[in-house]
Amino acid sequence: MKATSLKEIIWVYLKVCLKVDMRLLCQVDYYSNSSICLSTGYTECLPQFILIIEKDTIFRKLLSEKFYEKFKPCLLVTAKGYPDLITRQFLAQINCIHPNIPMIGLFDADPHGINVFCTYKYGTTNPMMQNENGSPIKISNLQLCGLLPSELSSLQIKEIDLLKLTKRDKSLLNSMKKRLYIQQESILLEQINYLLLTEMKAELEILNTIHSTYLTNEYLPNKLKLWNILPNK
């Protein structure tokens, strides 16, 4: 089943009903569709993990290379960049109801990617993107899987394929370092400092330079082992 809202795309083999004031357009395939309402109810066939993907291109790559089939039941989500309110409400509600389901983030190894990750996990101060109580919508259990700036040197990536940080990138990184939640989450602070030290960044697509299916067949499976998640036999 593929479900879409204003921005988000979800690929999942399960039925989900949650107490969220929204509607999603659910599609069996790319051509037929029917509407459902995510209201108070139940969840059937719980996913063993939820993979939140920054970019639509990577989301579609994983689908085309049958990543879902190898790890189902799982839930793949993308908001095509910065997440909208509905996407974050949806994920925050799942996180609240099923806190034991790992939520794993796949983002670019650059300032923008880290900032998008932070928007998912910690929310935003924008009053238009907060809950009815005026509080940020958080996904507290979300963990960063990759692409980590600190691991670029250990992968078979040519330095010529890396991108240089811009002045705007450096300004964003220095601004993020001042945020309290960044100072309290060592992995994020480490990645920000690494970017500032090397002054190099990379997008997820750089993994294609190693092998066209490296992300799907090697990188992600190896990462998921950290959560004791193995492919189906």
Nearest in space to 109 (alpha carbons), one of 45, 61, 154, 50: 154
Write out pLDDT tens, residues 174-229.
999 999 989 899 999 999 999 999 999 999 999 999 999 999 999 999 999 999 99
* Cβ pair 198, 192 in contact under 8 A: no
Average pLDDT, the chain: 79
More confident residue, 73 or 162: 162
Helical axes 85-97 vs 111-122, angle rounded to 10°:
60
Write out pLDDT tens, residues 12-54.
444 444 444 433 333 332 222 233 333 334 445 578 899 999 9
- The pLDDT assigned to 40 comes to 38
- The pLDDT assigned to 139 comes to 86
Residue 83 domain flag = yes
Residue 40 domain flag = no
CATH number of the domain at 214, please.
3.40.1360.10
Residue 151 domain flag = yes
Q: What is the value of pTM for the model shown?
A: 0.79
Instruction: Report the domain count for the chain.
Output: 1
Residue 55 domain flag = yes
Residue 19 domain flag = no
What is the domain extent for residue 148? Answer: 46-227
CA distance 123 to 215: 28
Residue reference for tokens 């880290």: 114
Residue 133 domain flag = yes
Residue 233 domain flag = no
Residue 173 domain flag = yes
